[in-house]
Structure formats: structure tokens, C-alpha cells
Amino acid sequence: MRTDHFIRFERVDAVEQTERGLLARLHGEWLRLEAVRSDVVRVQLSRGGVFDEQPTYAVCVDPFDGDGDGDDGVAWRAEPGEDAWRLTTDDAVVTLWLDPFRLDVHRPDGSVVVESVPDEDGRYWTYATLNDAWTMRRRIGRDDAVYGLGEKGGRHNRRGRDFTLWNTDVLNEHATAEFRAGLDTDDPRADMRSVEFDPYYVSIPFFHHLDTTTGAAAGSFVDNGYRGEYEFSRDDEYRVTFHGGQWTEYVFAGPSMPTILERYTWLTGRASLPPIWALGYQQCRWHAYSQADVEAIAKRYRADEFPCDGMWLDIDYMDGYRVFTWDSTRFPDPEAMLKGLANQGFRTISIVDPGVKHDPGYEVYDDGVEKDVFCRTEGGDIYIGQVWPGNTAFPDFATPEARAWWGALNARHVESGLAGIWNDMNEPATGEISPLGMLFDKGRAKHERFHNQYAMLMAMGTLEGLRAARPELRTFILSRAGFAGIQRYAANWMGDNQARWDHLWVSMPMACGFGLSGQPFVGADIGGFQGDTEPELFLRWMQMGALTPFARNHSEVGVIEQYPWSFGDEIHGLAREAVRLRYRLMPYLYTAFVRASETGEPVQRPLVLDHQTDPEVIDVDDEYLFGRDILVAPVTEAGMTSRSVYLPEGDWYDWHTGELHAGRQRITVPTPRERIPLFARAGGAIPMWTEAPPSTDGYRPEVVELHVFDPVSDGRWESLLVEDDGLTVTDGEPERLTTTVVVSRSGGEVSVSYETSGPGYAGHARTRFEVVRHGR
Ligand code: GLC
């Protein structure tokens, strides 16, 4: 977006100190600067003299009550100066320059968190506005790196490119037309099937800015749901523009990326602990199945001893794509089917789109009209867009009534025995029809205010309904679209990808971008959604996908079958080995989710998160850490027989051969068909099941193995194992067992010790650990 003609805020008229910081008067508006924590500062600018106190649903805590004790406890002081005011905490120094107006944040050592930058005419663009849009420009080093913005295409390091935040149904030519318009045909962004296409389904206005010369990172979260533009392609400055709403920003002083992420997920919430079955392997396909087909697939998984926890039902289970109905011809007895699947250890999840068929006489539609819970147009009509059933109405999730209504519909829907809900088309996708006529909040709010939040509000309603129906059970919702905070309600899959190698690759940086933006529970359609997959691609995708947070095989209607058994015995067997490894790693994976739910740290982690001062990892996005201690280096091309792997600091054991490698070097490793390169961190203790059960259902092993990877240098390593029933929610102290394993080495002596604490849980059967040593 062109912003040169925007009107800059040039001078501050007055500043006063308030209870929480500074309040300045400029250009007829108010600017608030407040210390949220010692390393987090909030900046807010009014519009029309009024602050929008709840711009979005992203922030879920009172930012001024960090530890919940009712007292903000942040020590700060404000000092007036000749040409600037200063707000100082233990970790940040905010300078508000009066004339010309500028806003800078530094750390106490003088290093830059954010800094205004003059243009060639010496003018500052700390804030400029035109009509409802506003923009800001800041300094960035030429070689600095940028990570985050959630689900974005292309390289993990966002530097060098510009991005739009506007939830988009990526394969819809109408929704994407404006983003492709005017681009050269050889620009990959002109092609919605390219890995560079932008924007995507999910928008998260949060990023980490890494100063690569010092290794220090800063963070920015703009709490604004309107369409946003982040321009990181310029040499010395970045620009952030929103098409509406206010400038409400949380600036994170860092300098460590995990700390920034911890603070960001404190504000916007952490993923709630998923039911363990959601971490199992999931079978999905868009296909007009009958009840008998689904039962046969389930049977086949069990007969083949191929572990699987989830059976998914796409849109064809419905009667004419009417949400909350079943096609009674194809599914004569859903309850019996769901019961039968449950008896074999399968959980069944069904799709629920937001579009309600415009069909007077259909109960859900009629009820929605009667209760007045659908979005309206400016003229007061019910807004109509298009989804699978044709004309559809959309619940006005910006209102609590519509969310409650939707929640109750979901609660009733799962009474049949469904275990989870899959929310799709929630950008919202409206087919050929522009979504902009869809107003929210009973016609009071423009579409743009809630567009990016629609999916999150839908998930909020769904979650409330599921919780009310089954208060004792953890919920599981999978969503395509999302906004900052979506992690509190749902997992995200990466939408409609292609059965192509470049899409296998891009799912890594995409997952890592999600992870650095607070959403740990993510996965791409394994095998590829659109287009016929190929045997080798399928196998390599299964080997990688088995080691991603969410592991679901899914494909589009009309493409070749991509069941594990669709490509012959060899691939079937190898894919099963890959999925069995996931199940054997379940205690480790589950514990990684516990950490994510407590600290916000991702499960699929880019190397840069833990090694931000190592210049070698800045652009590494074809490998990742799965949990803290396993490095995964997938096969990303057809016919690959070996690949280069960068091992970060530490020592690493080749998972397959046991060979030890020192970190901070690149090595080349073979990639035979049987496996992809994996490495375990020396010092780590990785808890594993001794075998891969058919599903997680009722699996209560007596023995858990602790795979200890002997350290080769002196030091102390702590690993964690959290065990609980994997299903229920407990009030107060969690009913679980927490084991901390300490591996230490001094003077050639390695010792392993562990300590288990916690009240335990019903059904616990483990009687012992078996320590398996790797190394000398
Ligand atoms: C969308 C979803 C895809 C699903 C299809 C039919 O394209 O992204 O996963 O299979 O709709 O429901």
C-alpha cells in the first residue's frame, strides 16, 4: 500500500505522567505509553480522542496484572527532558521525542529495540494516517532477520519480502484475485499454488526482529484485526500499515526469542493441553464415503497394525452440505458407526463449516433467522455468500449470542459420539461473492474489523459448546483460519497444499512461523491435498509428517488414493515404521505439548529459536527440532540419496546409526528410503513407549523407556516427562506425574538421576523406567 501521502504526526504538544506511564497530546489525539512488564511496553494512540480498549479478542489477560495478584508490580520511572520524555524500566528505556515526534525503545545497555528512522528529507514516520488507515516506519539492519506473522509462505526468515494480513481462502480465484492482480506472470505470488503466495488463511500481527550483528531480538505485536501490511523488503526500514483501527502495540525488548515468545503467549494465551489422541496419526480424505467405507478403512488400519487414532469425516457426511446434519442414505446409523469405531480405539472428527445453507425449512437456518444470529448487510438483509451448499448465511460470531447458539449446535452434534470438530472455510470463505458486505455485531461493525478474527470467534463458540457438553473432557478443534490467540481454542492445519515437493518443504518454515507466533499445534496435509501424490513423495511426507505436531493424511476429492497401503508393500511398511516411531515417541511428544501449554514454546522449533546468536542458523529452514532434543532433517526432493544437515551447538547422535557428531558444523548424511535423518541431543533423556500401540486409546504401559544420550562434555542436562490420563481436565492441581531426569557429566563420569512428583492420576500403570543408554 502506498503511504507517502499519509499525514505524519510531527510534534507532541504536551506530556503528563499517569498512574502507569505517560500520556501525550499530539495532533488532537492521545498517545499512551505504559510499562506492561519490565520488558514489554504498550503503545496506544487514540482516534477521534477515544481509545479502543478492546481492539480484538487476542489479548486474554489483564496486561497490567502480570501474575494475577491484582498489583502490576512493574517498577518504572518517567523523566521529562528538554526535547524528550523518558520512561524507564529495568529492561527498557522508551524515549518520546517531542519535536519532531519520534518513539524509540532501547535496552538499558543502549542497544536498539525499535528506533524511528528519518526519510531522505529528514522526516520521521513514527505514525502517519490517512482516512482510516495508519502506518509506521522503523529502522532495520540490512542483514537483520524477521520471523513470525504466523502462517506465511516462502522462507522462514521473512526479511526481503512484504506480506499482507488478510485471511484468505488460498485456492479461491475470486478471493485471491486482488492479490494476484498486476503481478508479472513469472512472479510466484501471481500463482496461488506457489509456495510464495500471500496472504494465507491465518493472520498473526506479531514478529521477532533479530539483529544479526548482535544476536539480540525484539518483538512487536500490533493488536489490530484489520487488514495489515508488513513490508520487510526495504534496505534500511520496515513499514507496518493497517487499513483501519488503532495503533495498539506491544513492544518486546527481548533480547531472547524464547522470552519474547513467552511474553507474547502470556498476553494472547497458550494452547490448552490437547487430548492425547489428537497427537496420534489421523486419517482423512475428502471423498463421498459411506458408513461401510469408513468402517472398512478403520478395519484395514487395525488389520495392518498401522497405528491410527483419528478418523475424519469431510463434507460428504452431511445431507446436502447442511451443517449439523447427516446424510442418512450414506450414513444410516452414525451412532452405531461411531460406537464401533470407538470400540476399536478410533476417535471420529467431523467437519463443520460456518456457512449455513440458505434454505427456509432447514432447521438450523430457520432457527438462526429466528434468533437473529446471522450477519447482516448494511441494508439489514441477511448476508449471503457461497460455500459448498450454494447460498449460505454466516453466524455473527462477533456477538456472544451467536457464539452461544453455535456452541449449543456443536454440543448437540457431538452427542452422536463425535470426538472433535474440524472448522473449515472460516476465513470466512464466501466463494464468488465479496465478503465485505458481511457486517458484524448486529450490523454495527464493518466487515474489516472482524474478518481476520472470524475463525477465532467461531472456535471460541465451538469450544464453549463442547466444554459445556463435556466439562470433564479436553476438547479438540482443528481450524483452517485464525488470528493471534487462536492457539487457545484450536489447532491449525495449513490448508490446501499441493502434492509437490516444494509444498513438503514449505510446511517446515510455515510450521516454524506458526510456532514462533504462539501456535504450536500445526501440521500440513500429509501427502499433499491437491493433485495426485507420488509414491516417493508420499513416503517422504509420511516420514516427516510423523514428526510434526499434528499428523494427518488428507487429500482432495478426485485425486488418487493416498492411504498408507495405496503404493505397495514396501511403502506401506516404511510408512508404518515412521508412524510407529511417532507412537513410540508419544511420551516425549506429549510432554512437548505440556511445555507448549505452559510456556508457549513451540513443538516444531526452528533452529534459530534456541540458537539465535549462531549466524549459521538464521536462514536454516529445511530442518527443525521436534521438541527440544530431536533434530529432523527431512528429504525434500525426489531421488535424494544424501543431504546436508547443519547441527547447532551441542553434540548430536545420529538416531539411526548412533554415530556422534559435534555441533556447529554441516555434515552430509545418507537418506536411504527407510528413513530420514534424525539426531538426538547429547545430554537429552527421551522418554519412549517400548512399542507402538494400535492407538493411544487405553494404552497404559508398565514400562517407559528413558533413552539417555550420553553427554560428551561436562555439564548438566534436564529433561522432562509428564504423564497423565491424556483426556480429562482437572480443576486445581493437575492430576499427573512429573518426572525430571537429570543427566550430568563431570570428569568423564556420567550420571543419570530422576525424580517424580505430583499426585498421579487414575489408571496409571507404569511401574518402572528402563534406562537405555546411547553413547559409549
Ligand atoms: C477445503 C478444505 C479441505 C477440505 C475441503 C472440502 O478445501 O481446506 O481440507 O477437504 O474444503 O471440505
Which DSSP letter does residue 560 get?
P
Q: Decide if 357 contacts 321 (C-beta within 8 A).
A: yes
CB 507 within 8 A of CB 514: no
* Separation between Cα atoms, residue 624 and residue 620, nearest integer Å: 8
- pLDDT tens digits for range 353-369: 999 999 999 999 999 99
| 554, 286 contact by CB (below 8 A) | yes
- Is the Cβ atom of 258 under 6 angstroms away from ligand 1? no
Determine whether the shortest distance from the Cβ of 629 to ligand 1 is under 6 A: no
Q: Specify the ligand 1 atom closest to the Cα of 496.
A: 8
Per-residue pLDDT reduced to its tens digit, 76-104: 999 999 999 999 999 999 999 999 999 99
* Residue 435: half-sphere exposure toward Cβ, Cα within 13 Å: 28
User: What is the pLDDT at residue 69?
Assistant: 56
CA 527 to chain centroid, in Å, comes to 20
Q: Is the CB of 64 under 6 A from ligand 1?
A: no
Question: What distance in Å separates the CA atoms of residue 310 and residue 418, rounded to the nearest whole number?
Answer: 11
Which is catalytic among the residues 223, 396, 496, 697? 496
DSSP assignment string, 143-190: T-EEEESSS--S-SS-TT-EEEE----TT-HHHHHHHHTT--TTSGGG
- Beta carbons of 29 and 247 less than 8 angstroms apart: no
d(CA 521, CA 493) in angstroms, rounded, equals: 8
Q: Is the dihedral of CA 517, 518, 519, 524 positive or negative?
A: positive
User: Which atom belonging to ligand 1 lies closest to the Cα atom of 351?
Assistant: 12
Mean pLDDT of 415-436: 98
Ligand 1 atom closest to Cα of residue 425? 1
- Identify the active-site residue in 424, 621, 623, 697: 424
pLDDT band at 70 (very low <50, low <70, confident <90, very high): low
Taking CA atoms only, the protein residue closest to ligand 1 atom 12 is 315
pLDDT category, 1, cuts 50, 70, 90?
confident
The pLDDT of residue 545 is 99
> For ligand 1, what atom is nearest to the CA of residue 284?
10
**pLDDT value for 66:** 65
Terminal Cα-to-Cα distance of the chain (whole angstroms): 60
Closest Cα to residue 509, out of 169, 257, 148?
148
List CB contacts of 270: < 8 A, sequence separation 6 or more. Answer: 487, 488, 518, 596, 597, 598, 599, 600
Residue nearest ligand 1's atom 4 by CA: 286
Q: What percent of the chain has pLDDT over 70?
A: 99
Q: Is the CB of 495 under 6 A from ligand 1?
A: yes
- Whether the CB of 152 sits within 6 Å of ligand 1: no
Tell me the C-alpha distance between 533 and 560, whole Å. 7
- pLDDT tens, residue by residue, 409-420: 999 999 999 999
Best probe residue, ligand 1, of 312, 556, 557 (max atoms within 8 Å of C-beta)? 556
In the annotation, is 424 catalytic? yes
Nearest CA to ligand 1 atom 10: 286
pLDDT tens column, 506-519:
999 999 999 999 99
Q: How far is the CA of 601 from the centre of ligand 1 (A)?
A: 29
Q: How large is the average pLDDT for residues 298-319?
A: 98
496 is catalytic: yes
**Ligand 1 center from residue 480 Cα (angstroms):** 9
Whether 65 has a pLDDT exceeding 90, the answer reads no
Residue 72 reports pLDDT greater than 70: no
Ligand 1: distance of its center to the CA of 401 in Å?
28
Compute the distance from residue 335 Cα to the ligand 1 centre, in Å: 24
Say if CB 250 and CB 267 are below 8 A apart. Answer: yes
User: 287 CB under 6 A from ligand 1?
Assistant: no
Q: How confident is the model at residue 377 (pLDDT cuts 50, 70, 90)?
A: very high
Instruction: Return d(Cα 248, Cα 136) in angstroms, integer.
Output: 12
The DSSP-derived string for 293-341 is HHHHHHHHHHHTT----EEEE-GGGSBTTBTT---TTT-S-HHHHHHHH
User: What is the pLDDT of the chain when averaged over all its residues?
Assistant: 97
pTM value is 0.98
Nearest atom of ligand 1 to the alpha carbon of 495: 8
- Residue 309 CA to ligand 1 center (angstroms) comes to 20
Whether residue 357 contacts residue 365, with contact meaning beta carbons closer than 8 Å, is answered with yes
- Give the length of the chain: 776
537 Cα: distance to centroid of ligand 1 (angstroms):
21
Ligand 1 centroid distance, CA of 418 (Å) = 19
- Please report which confidence band the pLDDT of residue 730 belongs to, taking 50, 70 and 90 as the band edges: confident
Tell me the best of 171, 200, 286, 421 to mutate to test the pocket of ligand 1, counting ligand atoms within 8 Å of each CB and taking the most. 286
| 309 CB near ligand 1 (under 6 Å) | no
Answer whether 352 contacts ligand 1 (Cβ < 6 A). no
664-687 per-position pLDDT tens digit: 999 999 999 999 999 999 999 999
pLDDT band per the 50, 70, 90 thresholds, residue 296: very high
Indicate the residue type of 237: E
Contact 169 CB / ligand 1 (< 6 Å)? no
Q: How far is the CA of 736 from the centre of ligand 1 (A)?
A: 37
The torsion of the CA quartet 472, 478, 483, 484, rounded to 10 degrees, works out to 50
Inter-residue contact 304 to 572 (CB < 8 Å): yes
Q: 510: Cβ below 6 Å to ligand 1?
A: no
User: In this model, does residue 591 exceed pLDDT 60?
Assistant: yes
| CA–centroid distance, residue 584 to ligand 1 (Å) | 30
CB atoms within 10 A of CB 157: 22
**CB–CB of 428/394 below 8 Å?**
yes
pLDDT tier at 732, thresholds 50, 70, 90? confident
The closest residue, in CA terms, to atom 5 on ligand 1 is 286
**Whose Cα sits closest to atom 7 in ligand 1?**
496
For the cut 70, the answer to whether the pLDDT of residue 68 exceeds it is no
Whether ligand 1 lies within 6 angstroms of the CB of 314 is answered as: yes
Q: Whose CA is nearest to atom 3 of ligand 1?
A: 496
286 CA to middle of ligand 1, Å? Answer: 7
Contact 704, 769 (CB under 8 A): yes
Q: Which atom of ligand 1 is nearest to the CA of 286?
A: 10
d(CA 204, CA 33): 23
Q: How far is the CA of 368 from the centre of ligand 1 (A)?
A: 24
- Asked if residue 359 lies in contact with residue 324, where contact means CB atoms within 8 angstroms, the answer is no
Q: Is 478 in the pocket of ligand 1 (CB under 6 A)?
A: no
The catalytically annotated residue of 144, 229, 427, 464 is 427
H/E segment holding residue 54: none
Question: 211-266 pLDDT, tens per residue?
Answer: 999 999 999 999 999 999 999 999 999 999 999 999 999 999 999 999 999 999 99
Strand segments, DSSP code E, in 693-748 are 703-709, 715-723, 737-746
Note if 427 is an active site residue.
yes
Closest-lying ligand 1 atom to the alpha carbon of residue 314: 12
State the pLDDT at residue 202.
Answer: 98
> According to the model, what pLDDT value does residue 71 have?
60
